[in-house]
Chains A and B, each alone.
Chain A
Amino acid sequence: MSDVMLEVRELTTKYITRFKEDVYAVDHVSLKVEEGKSLGIAGESGCGKSTLALSLMGYYFPPLHYTSGEIIIDGRNITGMNPDEVRKSILGKEIAYIPQAAMNALNPTQKIINFVEDVIEAHNPYATKSEIYAMAKGLFEVLGLPADVLQKYPVELSGGMKQRTVIAISVILSPQVLIADEPSSALDVTSQKMVIKMLRNLMDKGYIKAMIFITHELPLLYNVTDDILVMYAGQIVEKASAKEAVFDPLHPYSKGLMGSIIVPEEGLRNVKLTTIPGVPPNLKNPPTGCRFAERCKFVRPECKVVSIPLREVGNGRAYRCILPEEELRTYYAREARTNA
């Protein structure tokens, strides 16, 4: 039995707009990341992936507000902690977060080593410069970044290199959990692969104990993570292992998402891509019942009335749909036959 590094129970967070409307971007989300595991979060833009990432850290600032639920990091409950406290004792040490355009966060007038000094000094004011340098150099070498990067300015580095540098800096205090929000979406394929390799390296060498990886690129998620959560309109609609999520999705939304994968592999040329018609619901007043009902092909009248719980089906799988597993599979099989 491995340790649970991060556990979230029924977390709900909301944005309050300037018209004082509540938008529940994360709605009763529960998740668990065990030591040595990586969890992927998939979903289209605006489904609450990034808000979930922000909420997980317990670091709330307006317009994002905490509503209910619990966050437990490595056995420590951080629910309701004051943001200042979170910044001092949680961020960097317990959880590191890499935002989408992390490389743009580098101040162009500072050398890379200065950022490293900033991070370490904030948590350990007594560290000397030479200690910091030795520490940074050691980490950079392990991660396959040349040590002379430390003495360079951000403009001297390529995009992929900057991104990897930021990742290296964020894990310098060996946090337990790394949250990577689209860490490679602005990079070309080769740099992307380097970033992924580095993240794998971090896990293997024990710099981080668990990882949460957020992206809308499913082939990438499939290759990086052990488990995948599919989010739709602020809710988790499916929870499965990476393999099951890609090859045997249950929820109609996940099915649609997996049907839009394009990879350069034999046989995928003549496959018809599935498209999901319509747009996600406005979370200002979310529909009662299933949030996907408006766009679902298999919609039943009762879908729009009763709210549907996340149903556990064993092996850590769960999905949020009124239809039983077998019925959904029959539908998908029939669909596959008509498309062929």
Chain B
Amino acid sequence: MPNERKPCLSGTGVTKVFGLGRNKTVAVDNVDFTFYEGEIISIVGESGSGKTTLAKMLLGLINTTEGEIYFQGQKRDIGSHRKKKEYWKSIQAIFQDPFSSYNTFNKIDTVLLDCIRMRGGGRLPHDQKVAMMTEACSFVNLKFEELTNKYPFELSGGQQQRLMIARIFLLKPKILLADEPTSMIDACSRATILDMLMNLRDEIGMTPIFITHDIGLAYYVSDSVYIMEHGRFVESGSADDVILRPKEAYTKRLINDVPKIYEEWDLSTV
């Protein structure tokens, strides 16, 4: 346990409002948070709770309406495209739908070569690049020789998601935002993907942030859990505290609605 926890990503009063006037929707409503380095964080919420909007703001894909986001204690500056690119070297994401995360026209080699270029390895000799790509693919149990000259859509959902992890392996970001990384793949491959993400975390020392509606997953992987409802964090704390001893009614309801195997699943409360 490090005696001093370094904050890697934090925010004060982060707000996102879509629309104007009568059509105004407050997607993220004045949230404060501090994510520490080395911790595994989960943001849990139902659909429409604003968790993906928050993720997009953290990534700098959309601007915040109000509030500030601090990266490693410094105010985040992504004013220009160049600065944004610099920022994306330290923060990367895996999205829910692996099918739509790739450029259909790019071959898998291109996808991986792009990552090497982003890390400044563009001028490396070809053999070395191939070695790096092979290493990344073998990390996620894919065979690079079989992938060359293939397009992402030729792979299955699980394989695409693993290729996504191979990208992260090459990019070595400080923070990884995983937005519903396993909701499109079945329970069996889910374990494989989670296992790989955890290995990757040990390998490159990043801080994963899971954004999910799966409370089981949040409980299984994370150190601290944030429960989000209507754009606000209603409860946060360590995974054991939040999931096993919830205080808020909303959290209790959410946990109650998940099918259990050891306890009785109470169907009468809907």
Say whether A and B bind each other: yes
CB distance from B255 to the nearest CB of A (A): 6
Whether A264 is near chain B, meaning CB under 8 Å from some CB there, is yes
Selected interface stretch from B53-61, B72-80, B102-110, B236-244: B236-244
Residues of A within 8 A of B188 (CB): 44, 216, 256-257, 260, 275-276
Q: Is the CB of B186 within 8 A of A273?
A: no
Check A220/B259 contact, CB under 8 A, given A262-B214, A275-B195: yes
Whether A135 is near chain B, meaning CB under 8 Å from some CB there, is no
Selected interface stretch from B124-132, B202-210, B216-224: B216-224
Whether B215 is near chain A, meaning CB under 8 Å from some CB there, is yes
Nearest-CB residue, chain A, relative to B193:
A275
Whether A268 is near chain B, meaning CB under 8 Å from some CB there, is yes
CA distance A334 to B257 in the complex (A): 34
Q: Is the CB of B261 within 8 A of A219?
A: yes
Selected interface stretch from B18-26, B164-172, B262-270: B262-270
Nearest-CB residue, chain A, relative to B254:
A189
- The interface size bin for chain A is 35 or more
Q: Is the CB of B187 within 8 A of A261?
A: yes
Q: Is the CB of A273 within 8 A of B216?
A: no
Nearest-CB residue, chain B, relative to A260:
B191
CB distance from B121 to the nearest CB of A (A): 30
Q: Is the CB of B220 within 8 A of A269?
A: yes
CB distance from A210 to the nearest CB of B (A): 19
Whether B92 is near chain A, meaning CB under 8 Å from some CB there, is no
Give 1 or 0 for each of B130-163: 1 = CB within 8 Å of chain A CB: 0000000000010000000000000011000000
Nearest-CB residue, chain B, relative to A263:
B216
Check A192/B257 contact, CB under 8 A, given A275-B192, A275-B195: yes
Residues of A within 8 A of B213 (CB): 188-189
Residues of B within 8 A of A262 (CB): 187, 190-191, 214, 216-217, 219-220
Most buried by B among A193, A223, A268: A193
Q: Is the CB of B215 within 8 A of A261?
A: no
Nearest-CB residue, chain B, relative to A197:
B267
Residues of A within 8 A of B260 (CB): 219, 223, 263-265
Whether B5 is near chain A, meaning CB under 8 Å from some CB there, is no
Check A273/B219 contact, CB under 8 A, given A189-B257, A265-B262: no
Check A193/B187 contact, CB under 8 A, given A223-B259, A246-B261, A273-B194: no
CA distance A295 to B260 in the complex (A): 28
CA distance A236 to B216 in the complex (A): 28
Whether A190 is near chain B, meaning CB under 8 Å from some CB there, is yes
- Contact partner of A264 (CB less than 8 A), chosen from B189, B194, B255, is B255
Whether A222 is near chain B, meaning CB under 8 Å from some CB there, is yes
Nearest-CB residue, chain B, relative to A198:
B270
Q: Is the CB of A264 within 8 A of B259?
A: no
Q: Is the CB of A264 within 8 A of B267?
A: no
Q: Is the CB of B187 within 8 A of A217?
A: yes
- Contact partner of B259 (CB less than 8 A), chosen from A159, A216, A263, A275, is A263
CB distance from A100 to the nearest CB of B (A): 12
CB distance from B183 to the nearest CB of A (A): 9
Nearest-CB residue, chain A, relative to B157:
A45
Q: Is the CB of B270 within 8 A of A274?
A: no
Q: Is the CB of B187 within 8 A of A188?
A: no
CB distance from B239 to the nearest CB of A (A): 7
- Contact partner of A200 (CB less than 8 A), chosen from B189, B240, B267, is B267
A residues 59-96 touching B (CB-CB < 8 Å): none
CB distance from A13 to the nearest CB of B (A): 22
CA distance A192 to B267 in the complex (A): 11
Q: Is the CB of A222 within 8 A of B259?
A: yes
CB distance from A242 to the nearest CB of B (A): 10
Q: Is the CB of A189 within 8 A of B46?
A: yes
Nearest-CB residue, chain A, relative to B215:
A264
- Contact partner of B191 (CB less than 8 A), chosen from A159, A219, A222, A275, is A275
Nearest-CB residue, chain A, relative to B262:
A265
CA distance A274 to B215 in the complex (A): 19
CB distance from B75 to the nearest CB of A (A): 35
- Contact partner of B270 (CB less than 8 A), chosen from A44, A193, A277, is A193
Whether A143 is near chain B, meaning CB under 8 Å from some CB there, is no
Q: Is the CB of A264 within 8 A of B219?
A: yes
CA distance A188 to B51 in the complex (A): 14
Q: Is the CB of B257 within 8 A of A265?
A: no
What is the interface of chain B, defined by CB distance below 8 A to chain A?
46-47, 141, 156-157, 185-192, 194-195, 213-220, 239-240, 243-244, 253-255, 257-263, 265, 267, 270
Provide 6 A-B residue pairs closer than 8 Å at the C-beta atoms, listed in order of the A residue.
A44-B186, A189-B213, A189-B257, A222-B261, A260-B191, A263-B261
6 smallest beta-carbon distances between A and B, as pairs = A260-B191, A262-B216, A273-B191, A216-B186, A189-B257, A219-B259
Starting from the known contacts A188-B47, A219-B261, A265-B261, 16 additional A-B residue pairs (CB-CB under 8 Å) come to A189-B215, A216-B188, A220-B259, A223-B260, A257-B187, A257-B188, A262-B187, A262-B191, A263-B258, A263-B262, A264-B215, A264-B255, A268-B216, A273-B191, A275-B192, A276-B188
